[in-house]
Amino acid sequence: MLETLTIEDGGKVALPDAVQTRYGFKPHTSIRLIETKNGVLLVPLTDAPMSAALQAELEEWQALGAGESVNGNMVVPAPYVLATNLSIKDRSREDEWLHAHQVEYAGQYVALEGNRLVAHGNSFSEAATAARAAGVQDALVVFVESPDTPPYLGF
Amino acid sequence: MTYQLNFSQKQRYDSLETGISLEVALQYGGNKTHCRAKIDSGSQACLFERGIGEFLGIPVESGLRRDFSTLTGRLTAFGHEVVLESLGLQLQSFVYFAESDAIKRNLLGRQGWLQLLKFGLVDYDSEIYLSLYDEK
């Protein structure tokens, strides 16, 4: 999320609702303010000492230069790790379906679950929304290129 | 002199597809979707098609507007912070969504993805290897 906020009288800043929800910020929650090279971090404050995870994250911020800056202002935050070693879904059956039906669905978006076509449409939203309506939450949604499309050479 | 790297993940990719693509799950708020993106180490940032952002409920053009140069000209995109998951790794990342809905491809570039990774590729075997940059 990138949003411009305005500091009000007394140094008050109203955080967007989505940010408050994501980080568990509720009214009267104490937070820790941590200065970095390019700005500040707000972290919910607990009675416990700073965790090793947060300490490591702070070191990452410093080591990575905290994203990209333009004219000395940090505008793009560096990524940080939320989770590792999550399960990886085998999509080989989706690949098989795509190879078998490439000509038939060229130029369309398809939503696939295994070797089953869940939905298709002319836009990503159309196919993904139809898949969700069909109760398939993790359908793979891809644009089917024509077999005549020249090989990819970057943008 | 020889050098050795260790990786925690190995994944095969579809050698019949043009380029090297990975499944990517993008999440914004309570919305999540699964798509494919091509690995592009020459790309400064991660770029996704506009329709994905719109499906996730992102007000695409309210993001950080940036122009990017490409092999054939320029394109404009808007940056937003999302949760990006690929190869078992979930990151809070800043990625871009194309202004034009004519862009039908997605890219995994340096900023927001490669920047945090140790990455190996053996194209002969259609295999990629991956770890966090500081993973032992």
Reported ipTM: the value is 0.90
Would you say B24 and B106 are in contact if contact means Cβ atoms under 8 Å apart?
yes
pTM for the whole structure? 0.75
Q: Are B23 and B36 in contact (CB under 8 A)?
A: yes
Whether residue A79 and residue B91 make contact (CB cut-off 8 A), yes or no, is yes
Give the mean model confidence (pLDDT) for residues A22-38. Answer: 67
Contact with chain A for residue B20, Cβ under 8 A: no
Contacts of A18 in chain B (CB under 8 A): 29
Higher pLDDT, A13 or A133: A133
> Would an 8 Å CB–CB cutoff place B38 in contact with chain A?
yes
Query: Chain B contacts of A140, Cβ < 8 Å?
Result: 23, 34-36
Contact B89 A75 (CB under 8 A): no
Which residue in this structure is represented by tokens 């379906």? Answer: A97
d(CA B51, CA B102): 10
Which DSSP letter does residue A69 get?
E
Please state, in angstroms and rounded to a whole number, the distance separating the CA atoms of residues A2 and A106: 36
DSSP state of B111: B
pLDDT > 90: percent of chain A? 37
**Looking at CA atoms only, how far is residue A17 from chain B in angstroms?**
11
CA angle, A16 then A20 then A24, to 5°: 175
Block residue for tokens 């449409």: A121
Q: How far apart are CA A97 and CA A42, in angstroms?
A: 47
